[in-house]
Amino acid sequence: MKKKVAIIGSGNIGTDLMIKIIRTSEVLEMGCFVGIDAASDGLARAQRMGVDICATGIDGLIKMPIWKEIEVVFDATSAKAHLYNFGKMEAYPKKKMVDLTPAAVGPYFVPAVNGDSSLSEKLGLTVDLSEDNRVNVNMVTCGGQATIPIVAAVSRVAKVHYGEIVASIASKSAGPGTRANIDEFTETTSEAIEKVGGATKGKAIIILNPAEPPLVMRDTVFTLSDQADKEEIRKSVHNMVAEVQKYVPGYTLHQEVQFDNIPESEPVFIEGVGYKSGLKTTVLLQVIGAGHYLPEYAGNLDIMTSAAMAVGEKLVKV
C-alpha cells in the first residue's frame, strides 16, 4: 500500500515533485499539495490532477482530516519558511520531513552517498531514520546533489583536503526562491562538501547563466587529495555516476575524469588548511532534466526533486 505524503510549496520545485510522485513512485501517494497563494498555478494544476489542496500553508494542512494519514512532508518553500514549518511539526514527532530548502536544520542527505552503508560508515554519515526519531532530512542544494557524490567518490579512495564545485544553471530555471537563497546555497553546499563529501575544506560557487536558448545544468568538481591510484579514482567516479543515474537518469559525465599532479616542490595554499601537494582531480558533469513538468534544461531542479523523492521512498520503507 502506498504511503501518503504532503508537499508544502506550490512553486516549480513543489509542482515537479508532485508530478514525479504521481507518475513514477511505486510507494508514495500524494495526500495534499500546500501553498499560501490560492491563485497559484501549482495549486490549480494539483486540483486538476485530483489532488487535495490547501492554500493556507502548514497551519491549514494540520487542520485537514488528511493530516492524520500523512507520513512524510516535503518542504519546497524557502530556508526562512522552513524554520516555521518545521517548528509547527514539533507536536508530531512520528511524521518525517524532507527539506528541499537550504535551511540545513536536519542532517544532510545525498542518496547516492548516504545510501551506501559502507561509504556512510567511512564518512560518518549514518542518519537515524527510525520511527521513534524526529526526522528532518535536508537535501542540501541542487549543486550539492550533483557534485557531492563526486567528492565522496574521491574520498573513498584517498583523503580529500579540498573540494570546490562550480554549478552553472540556466537563469530561467532559477526562480525567486533560488535567487533569494543564494547565500544559503553557497554556505550550505560548502559545509556539505565537508560533512558529506569528506573534504577537509569545501567551497561552492553558483553561476546563473543567461544564455538563450537556456543551457542545461553543468557542474565542475575539483578535488585535491593525497596521491592515489588514478584508475581507482576514475573507477570510483564512474561507479558513483551510475549510482546517481538510478534516480536521476539525465546525470552524466560531460568529459572523462582529468588528473594533475601537484608536486611537493610546488604546493598550493588552501585557506584554512595550509599548503598542500597531491593529486588534483577534475570532473565535469551534465544534468538534463526528465521533463516531467519543467523543461529539460532545468536539471538543477530535477535533481533536487528526484533526490527528494528517493529519500521520501526510503523514509516510508524504514
Query: Where in the sequence numbering do the catalytic residues fall?
Result: 142
Sign of the CA dihedral 271, 272, 278, 284? negative
Q: Which residues of 179-190 are buried (b: 16+ CB within 10 A; e: fewer)?
A: eebeebbbebbb
Which cell numbers hold the place of 121? 560508515
Which of 227, 233, 221 is closest to 264 using CA atoms? 227
- Say if residues 154 and 237 touch (Cβ distance below 8 Å): yes
Euclidean distance between CA atoms 223 and 200, whole angstroms = 10
* Residue from 172, 169, 175 nearest 288 by CA: 169
d(CA 213, CA 27): 37
Q: Dihedral of CA 175/74/303/53: which sign?
A: negative
List CB contacts of 180: < 8 A, sequence separation 6 or more. Answer: 78
Contact 260, 233 (CB under 8 A): no
The rounded distance, in Å, linking the Cα atoms of 315 and 139 is 13
All cell numbers assigned to 278: 597531491
Measure Cα distances from 200 to 64, 101, 117, 167, 230 in Å: 46, 24, 21, 20, 20
